[in-house]
Amino acid sequence: MDSSASPSPLASTPSALSTDAGPSRRQWLLQGAAIAALAGGATGWGLAQAAETRTLRIGYQKSSTLTLLLKSRGVLEKALAPQQIHVQWHEFTSGLPLLEALNVGALDLSADVADAVPPFALAAGARLTYYAIETPSPTAQAIVVRKDSPITTLAQLKGKKVAFAKGAGAHYLLLEALSQAGLSIRDIEPAYLNPADGRAAFENGSVAAWVIWDPFLAAVQRQSSARVLTDGTRISNYRRFYLASTSFAQENPAVLQRVYEELQRAGEWVKKNPAAAAEWHAPVLGLDAATVAAANERRSYAVKPVDAESLTEQQRIADAFTAAQILPRKVAVQESPVWRPA
């Protein structure tokens, strides 16, 4: 039996591949209303403590490979059944509303979000706990140009129009790449576009370059012969972060430990069984298995404890976005709680 909640107002349409890009103002309003409704109607963990059955509420996106694998196999349902814990799943179309749902008490745990997402939630005052990371996957995002483009160096982006999702990890990659080339964001013409619009602009030639992450990166490489100008190697590590509501993390370390262990096992399975993993995930993403396999090869899927190095990079990302006036205020990442496995 599928343990999913009834179709959530937060769920994306079947054809919409989830992303970590920042939502538009309209999307924020719509998803904010849905989050409020979910929070108002849900029985939070604390309220359910005295009940015979408790509910663990997990938010995810279509790109949440490891969490989706656990969901599809009913792993957490089986693991937590002896504790009379029911697992409820809620799908989101992007990372920021997912973390907002955590902050307002509508969820207990978040599947992975890109490294640029938590600083935005923290800047908005969210009280979140980091509980796991996927180790660096720097080649899973890149700046690409068309195969026939004369651009061969980052310096040649000066004066050119470059597409990317504002506030996404791709945005941070671009900021750092330009800096290494002696340029700044003021030296290019930014085109703030979501992945679907970014690809359209890239393919019709209205932008000179596109900054994008997997699986969109793998798709444009395979289907449009895009050429990588630079990826995140020695620029941006591109870790994926798992977060929990702070109250849940403090009150339920044993449950968090079990989720963490199952995520580790799922990551190991994906890397040991690349063909099977791609065949399973491809229909969910709406892509062919070969493209998903190419994207998965670049993702580490190695779930580890949150360490000082990963938090230091979180601070660098936050500082870069603050300096670029993308974040409304300075964020102190070290003030956020960190759960560590036993």
Contacts of 241 (CB under 8 A, 6+ apart): 112, 113, 114, 115, 117, 118, 130, 132, 133, 306, 310, 314
User: What's the pLDDT tens digit per position in 235-285?
Assistant: 999 999 999 999 999 999 999 999 999 999 999 999 999 999 999 999 999
Residue 213, classed as helix, strand or coil, is strand
Nearest alpha carbon to residue 309 among 235, 237, 232, 213: 237
Q: Strand pairing of 128-134 and 240-245? A: antiparallel
Q: Where are the domains of the chain?
A: 25-137+238-335, 138-231
Domain covering 25-137+238-335 assigned CATH 3.40.190.10 in the classification: yes
**One fold for 25-137+238-335 and 138-231:** yes
> How many residues can be counted in the chain?
342
User: What is residue 306's predicted lDDT score, i.e. its pLDDT?
Assistant: 98
Compute the distance between CA of residue 144 and CA of residue 330 in angstroms, rounded to an integer.
31
Cα angle 191-287-111, degrees, rounded to a multiple of 5:
75
User: What is residue 52's predicted lDDT score, i.e. its pLDDT?
Assistant: 72
Measured between its terminal Cα atoms, the distance across the chain in Å is 32
Q: Is the pLDDT of residue 26 over 70?
A: no
Burial category of 332 from C-beta neighbours within 10 Å (exposed 0-12, middle 13-18, buried 19 and up): exposed
CATH H-level superfamily of 138-231: Periplasmic binding protein-like II (3.40.190.10)
pTM for this entry: 0.85
Q: Check residues 249 and 53 and name the one with the higher pLDDT.
A: 249
